């Protein structure tokens, strides 16, 4: 029995094409400074048939008829955003295993957290792990479960690989408690794996950055050091706990530099070689994101204000003695950035409005591309041909960076073409689209 309702599929395609053309024309005119009126944009009519279309997506997966599914029902997010809002959840991409396989996380801060590997044939689940993170060079993965954090090198699609380190929660929590004996911290969490928002192995897996809703910690040489909030800050402000909001951390390729911060901090930069932490004042209200350039010469810091923000570039060779400098180059002055990744053309910034924006070394926009939901994570394939985008809408978009032209259903100014999508909604089995 066919899963396809041809009449609805045709309506879906026609309306999707019309809506994309309308928005693309609006964006073109806006970028040309014509100031078009937003009233010219009509609503996306696909929302009215989203329930029936979602049923077809599920049935096509049951019959493994994915190639026909993408042809008949081009993937979309926006039409589902209202009806299926309660099912949507953030998806974080840990990284690429190879040029076609990504490692994913979802179900943060709940007992439903799970790690997946996904490729063009399968989505495999690993419920024994609640969170996964990748080293800056992509060689090691940290896999967190109830007992601790296992670091393995070059895992396969079954997440099997050589174990290079095991950090047990009992040891981690004991060390944190010694450093912060009188304040509630990660040491006091019954399920510490459920508080994770980031894991970054470094030093070939022998050290680890733990980003938790209860602070940021550096594990190395058998020690656990709270790096944010630090002990002096806790004592000065008489804090009751180490909980942070909008926490973020990044590590340079060589592991020397760690950039970090949260809503209440400045942009923080730790030089592990000199054992010195620099504090840089943000250009907007609240520090929100950091990323190092691949050449290890610069770090980009983003600070946000509501859904907007400012991204500045800091030359690592000029940090010493320049903490009060106010004229660091501005690379973008519009986006609240949740995720970023460098590609040959520049830095791709993923923002709160659901746009990817590629910015070159001079801060000039190269292209932009809309994915339909606030962007939560980004990863680039080893051969730099694929960009994986994880969103708060529970979607993972696989984009071909080398495509000749964008398809008729996409919104953007570049030539990116989506070739695959994974949907990980709350209460649903993972689906391919």
User: CATH code at 291?
Assistant: 2.130.10.10
Alpha-carbon distance of 379 to 367, in angstroms, equals 17
Cβ neighbours, 10 Å, residue 428: 13
Low-confidence ranges of the chain (pLDDT < 70): 1
Q: Do 402 and 419 meet the contact criterion of CB atoms below 8 Å apart?
A: no
pLDDT at 41: 86
What per-residue string of b and e applies to 325-338 under the rule 16 or more CB within 10 Å gives b?
eeebeebbeebbbb
What digits encode the pLDDT tens for the residues 70-109? 999 999 999 999 999 999 999 999 999 999 999 999 999 9
Alpha-carbon distance of 92 to 339, in angstroms, equals 10
- In this structure, is residue 34 part of a structural domain? no
- Alpha-carbon distance values, 35 to 4, 31, 38, 113, 238 (Å): 41, 9, 9, 45, 50
pLDDT at 352: 98
Q: Do 378 and 369 meet the contact criterion of CB atoms below 8 Å apart?
A: no
Alpha-carbon distance of 15 to 50, in angstroms, equals 12
β-strands 162-168, 148-153 pairing: antiparallel
User: What's the total number of domains in the chain?
Assistant: 1
Strand partners, 248: 261
- In this structure, is residue 108 part of a structural domain? yes
pLDDT at 1: 59
pLDDT at 432: 97
Q: Which domain holds residue 235?
A: 92-432
- In this structure, is residue 8 part of a structural domain? no
Task: Judge if the upstream peptide bond of residue 257 is cis by omega within 30 degrees of 0.
Answer: no
Alpha-carbon distance of 417 to 433, in angstroms, equals 14
Alpha-carbon distance of 284 to 330, in angstroms, equals 11
pLDDT at 9: 98
- In this structure, is residue 71 part of a structural domain? no
- In this structure, is residue 177 part of a structural domain? yes
pLDDT at 115: 98
Q: What angle do CA 53, 371, 30 make, to 5 degrees?
A: 120
- In this structure, is residue 39 part of a structural domain? no
What digits encode the pLDDT tens for the residues 119-163? 999 999 999 999 999 999 999 999 999 999 999 999 999 999 999
Q: What angle do CA 92, 122, 388 make, to 5 degrees?
A: 35
- Helix, coil or strand: residue 209: strand
Alpha-carbon distance of 393 to 376, in angstroms, equals 9
């Amino acid at each position: 029995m066919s899963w396809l309702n041809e009449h609805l599929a045709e309506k879906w395609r026609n309306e999707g094409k019309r809506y994309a053309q309308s928005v693309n024309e609006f964006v073109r005119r806006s970028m040309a400074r014509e100031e078009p009126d937003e009233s010219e944009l009509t609503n996306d009519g696909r929302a009215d048939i989203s329930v029936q279309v979602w049923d077809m997506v599920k049935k096509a997966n049951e019959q493994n008829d994915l190639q026909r599914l993408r042809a008949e029902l081009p993937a979309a997010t926006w039409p589902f955003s209202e009806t299926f809002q309660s099912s949507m959840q953030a998806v974080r991409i840990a990284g690429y295993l190879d040029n076609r396989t990504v490692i994913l996380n979802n179900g943060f801060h709940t007992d439903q957290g799970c790690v997946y590997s996904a490729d063009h044939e399968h989505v495999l689940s690993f419920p024994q792990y609640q969170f996964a993170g990748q080293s800056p060079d992509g060689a090691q993965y940290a896999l967190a479960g109830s007992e601790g954090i296992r670091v393995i090198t070059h895992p396969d699609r079954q997440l099997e690989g050589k174990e290079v380190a095991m950090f047990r929660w009992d040891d981690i929590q004991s060390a944190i408690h010694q450093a912060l004996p009188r304040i509630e911290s990660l040491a006091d969490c019954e399920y510490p794996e459920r508080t994770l928002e980031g894991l970054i192995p470094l030093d070939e897996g022998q050290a680890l950055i733990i980003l938790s809703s209860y602070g940021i910690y550096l594990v190395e040489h058998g020690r656990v050091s709270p790096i944010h909030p630090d002990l002096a800050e806790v004592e000065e402000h008489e804090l009751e706990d180490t909980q942070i909001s909008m926490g973020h951390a990044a590590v340079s390729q060589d592991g020397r530099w760690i950039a970090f911060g949260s809503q209440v901090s400045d942009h923080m930069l730790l030089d592990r070689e000199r054992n010195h932490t620099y504090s840089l004042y943000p250009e907007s209200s609240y520090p929100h994101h950091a990323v190092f350039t691949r050449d290890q010469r610069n770090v980009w810091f983003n600070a946000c204000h509501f859904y907007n923000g400012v991204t500045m570039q800091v030359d690592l060779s000029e940090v010493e003695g320049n903490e009060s400098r106010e004229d660091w180059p501005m690379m973008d002055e519009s986006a609240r950035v949740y995720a970023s990744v460098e590609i040959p053309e520049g830095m791709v910034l993923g923002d709160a409005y659901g746009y990817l924006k590629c910015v070159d070394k001079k801060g000039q926009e190269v292209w932009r591309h809309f994915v339909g939901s606030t962007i939560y994570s980004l990863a680039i394939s080893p051969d730099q041909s694929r960009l994986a985008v994880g969103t708060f809408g529970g979607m993972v978009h696989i984009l071909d960076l080398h495509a000749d032209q964008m398809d008729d259903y996409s919104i953007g100014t570049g030539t990116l073409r989506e070739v695959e999508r994974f949907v990980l909604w709350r209460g649903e089995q993972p689906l391919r689209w």
